[in-house]
Amino acid sequence: MRNFNFFGRLSRAFNDYPSLSKVIVVSTISGGSLIAYAEANAFNGSKGHIAHADAVASNDDRRIASSEQVPKKKKVVLLGTGWGGMSFLKSLNNTNFEVQVVSPRNFFVFTPLLPSVTCGKVEARSIVEPIRNIIRKKNVNISYSEAECVKIDPNNKKIYCRATIDSHSKGEEVFAVDYDYLIIAVGAQVNTFNTPGVMENCHFLKEIDDAQKIRKNVIDSFEKASLPNLSDEERKKILHFVVVGGGPTGVEFAAELHDFVNEDVVKLYPNVQDLVKITLLEATDHILNMFDKRITNFAEQKFGRDGIDVKLGSMVTGINENEISTKVRGNGEKTSTPYGMALWSTGIGPRPLIKEFMKQIGQGNRRALATDEWLRVEGFGNIYALGDCATVNQRKVMEDISEIFRKADKDNSGTLTVKEFQEIIDDICERYPQVELYLKNKQVRNMVDLLKEAKGDAAKESMELNIEEFKSALSEVDSQMKNLPATAQVANQQGAYLAKCFNRMEECEKNPEGPPRFRGTGRHRFHPFRYRHLGQFAPLGGEQTAAQLPGDWVSIGHSEQWLWYSVYASKQVSWRTRALVVSDWIRRFIFGRDTSGI
């Protein structure tokens, strides 16, 4: 019994003090004696307690001293876990910042593959990465709160949030979060253009829940149309799928649905295959307007061959639960078409939070939150915005033309020589990217040639321009200014750029690396954001994809589909999602698409 009590106490000691087992293991390996350790500990018991107390006090003093010396970390609050927010978190490595992520969605979605989810080509879980998986691998202090920001208070550097999880708490639902820097990356919502009935009767394709609802509705439509008590007219109505909007999302969904019908439905629902109809409504003259005309024409011709009814110039005026009303642009002819399921994919608009914030800061007449070239919200040095919720308000050259001339005219002669201008041309092109676009479109080799052309003289190194001639040479440059597209590619690059700025914040405060300030002295802290277009894809079904890459390189066919596969696999944010997506593609090739609808 006595031995039993001894081992029981020993077992409890190991459970209460796990470090004790480590001491025993280390002592045994090093050849030390457990008995000797115990005797030495007993002999020095009273002295050990005193030494331990002194050590604790000393450590406390050191911690207090170090806390006084180490500056408090700046707090960065990030709103959103989309492309911009994810890219920022993955690229940030400055441990001098404390980051708090606030978003109602605790995961990142690889949105370019959402159309593939709607018809079972890819599983929903395969394109989702939990945000905590991303932040746990960082050496930066990052925390996450599943909540929705409902108000931004820039004057007091606070945001007010509401938890999206029902905690059944009786306390205040809204809580405040302080910040030193605020990064707004909440994305955008679908723009219905106030068309009656859209919100009540249409599907959207912005979130993972949207794709899952569409997938279930597609399968339910075929199951419902297979019931024996329906007429052919009723079946045709149920199996009429209408896509409103001829952009990349609408076109890809129509192509995915067509492939699903012809490759899988024909095997599972042979009685209703011939009753399926896919209609694509586009209000402009062509689908895929943002692509090269060669791609646009090929897509329209292919959809015609595949039996997808593309109606151009058709503006939707209203939708009820049974019919879609349209008006032909030009002659105003109105029609009503029965439908079974409708997808609305016509553009995006600001979320309520952004609308309210824009009114608050005097940007109420804009479509998106305006930022400068460093992604700072106009008028605020500590609030940044990126992705679909914001737009870069590129500064015009003509607004600063007098200051540019003054900076270049170093000898204050009132005229500008070619040599003086060449010394500042790189800074001008960096500060005003529209200058390079203008030169490219004019097919002029460099800015000096443009100035000589404006002067009208023979090319001479001694050529000089006055302020009016300088203004004349640059008068049309600002016509090349374009808003950045609302794509994942833009948001991803903006997030990485902003993280790079935060990583070098302290260094660039001391040694600015940006272009010179034409209005004022010194240099900007950072280089301005420059979007680099890496190309775009348009999957058209039948294992054919259109690719438009930099350098006016356009190609369409099956080989581009494999390029699409490789690029989208490589762009996944983790090896887990990369493996899942690839396995889904392989499964589809072998077994076909999943038709369970769950």
- Residue ranges of alpha helices (H) inside 239-315 are 248-260, 266-268, 293-306
Question: Is the Cβ–Cβ distance between 36 and 44 less than 8 Å?
Answer: no
Beta strands in 174-257 (DSSP E): 174-178, 181-184, 189-190, 240-244
Distances (CA, A) of 203 to 192, 252, 341: 11, 15, 8
Q: How confident is the model at residue 60 (pLDDT cuts 50, 70, 90)?
A: low
Q: Which of 206-215, 420-429, 488-497 has the lowest mean pLDDT?
A: 420-429
The predicted pLDDT at position 66 comes to: 47
Indicate where the chain has its CATH 3.50.50.60 domain(s). 206-345
Residue 79, strand partner residues? 102, 184
Which two tokens mark 556?
A: 């369409």
Q: Which of 361, 384, 363 is nearest to 372 (CA)?
A: 384
Q: What are the phi and psi torsion angles at 541 (to 5°)?
A: 85, 165
Give me the mean pLDDT over the 131-136 stretch. 95
Q: Which of 409, 468, 473, 475 is nearest to 444 (CA)?
A: 473
The predicted pLDDT at position 520 comes to: 84
The predicted pLDDT at position 153 comes to: 98
Higher-confidence residue of 575 and 478: namely: 575
Name the DSSP letter for residue 127.
Answer: G
The predicted pLDDT at position 363 comes to: 95
Which two tokens mark 174?
A: 């809204």
CA quadruple 5, 10, 12, 15: dihedral, nearest 10: -160
Task: For domain 395-478, say whether CATH 3.30.70 is its number.
Answer: no
Higher-confidence residue of 454 and 424: namely: 424
pLDDT at 107 over 50: yes
* % of the chain with per-residue pLDDT over 70: 84
The predicted pLDDT at position 381 comes to: 95
Give the Cα separation of 12 and 126 in Å (integer): 45
Fold of 206-345: FAD/NAD(P)-binding domain (3.50.50)
Q: Which of 19-23, 230-234, 274-278, 374-378 has the lowest mean pLDDT?
A: 19-23
pLDDT at 461 over 70: no
Q: Which residue has the tokens 């909007």?
A: 245
Give the Cα separation of 89 and 132 in Å (integer): 11
* % of the chain with per-residue pLDDT over 90: 67
pLDDT at 528 over 70: yes
The predicted pLDDT at position 69 comes to: 56
Q: Which of 87, 86, 368, 117 is nearest to 249 (CA)?
A: 117
pLDDT at 223 over 80: yes
Compute the radius of gyration of the chain from its Cα atoms. 32
pLDDT at 560 over 50: yes
Question: Is the Cβ–Cβ distance between 76 and 180 less than 8 Å?
Answer: yes
The predicted pLDDT at position 106 comes to: 95
Q: How confident is the model at residue 475 (pLDDT cuts 50, 70, 90)?
A: confident
Residues 6+ apart with CB under 8 A from 579: none
pLDDT at 12 over 80: no
Give the Cα separation of 217 and 232 in Å (integer): 20
Higher-confidence residue of 345 and 5: namely: 345
Indicate where the chain has its CATH 1.10.238 domain(s). 395-478
The predicted pLDDT at position 288 comes to: 97
Q: Which residue has the tokens 């945001």?
A: 159
Q: Which residue has the tokens 């029902």?
A: 166
Q: Which of 133, 202, 194, 91 is nearest to 494 (CA)?
A: 91
pLDDT in tens, 544-554: 999 999 888 99
Question: Is the Cβ–Cβ distance between 501 and 476 less than 8 Å?
Answer: no
Q: Which of 380, 426, 433 is nearest to 183 (CA)?
A: 380
Q: How confident is the model at residue 456 (pLDDT cuts 50, 70, 90)?
A: low
Name the DSSP letter for residue 189.
Answer: E
Q: Which residue has the tokens 């009685």?
A: 271
Name the DSSP letter for residue 95.
Answer: T
Q: How confident is the model at residue 327 (pLDDT cuts 50, 70, 90)?
A: very high
Give me the mean pLDDT over the 69-80 stretch. 87
**Looking at this protein, which amino acid is placed at residue 197?**
G
Which two tokens mark 444?
A: 């002029």
Give the Cα separation of 460 and 164 in Å (integer): 68
Give me the mean pLDDT over the 95-116 stretch. 97
Q: How confident is the model at residue 273 (pLDDT cuts 50, 70, 90)?
A: confident
Give me the mean pLDDT over the 376-392 stretch. 97
Indicate where the chain has its CATH 3.50.50.100 domain(s). 70-190+346-393+482-531
pLDDT, mean over the chain:
86
pLDDT in tens, 139-194: 999 999 999 999 999 999 999 999 987 655 554 689 999 999 999 999 999 999 99
Fold of 70-190+346-393+482-531: FAD/NAD(P)-binding domain (3.50.50)
Give me the mean pLDDT over the 211-227 stretch. 95
pLDDT at 46 over 50: no
**Looking at this protein, which amino acid is placed at residue 212?**
Q
In terms of DSSP bridges, do strands 240-244 and 277-282 run parallel, antiparallel, or are they unpaired? parallel
Secondary structure (DSSP) of 509-563:
HHS--SPBPSSSSSB-SSPPP------EEEEEETTEEEEEETTTEEEEEHHHHHH
Question: Is the Cβ–Cβ distance between 111 and 86 less than 8 Å?
Answer: no
Give the Cα separation of 144 and 458 in Å (integer): 64
Question: Is the Cβ–Cβ distance between 473 and 465 less than 8 Å?
Answer: yes
Q: Which of 198-212, 407-421, 561-575 has the lowest mean pLDDT?
A: 407-421
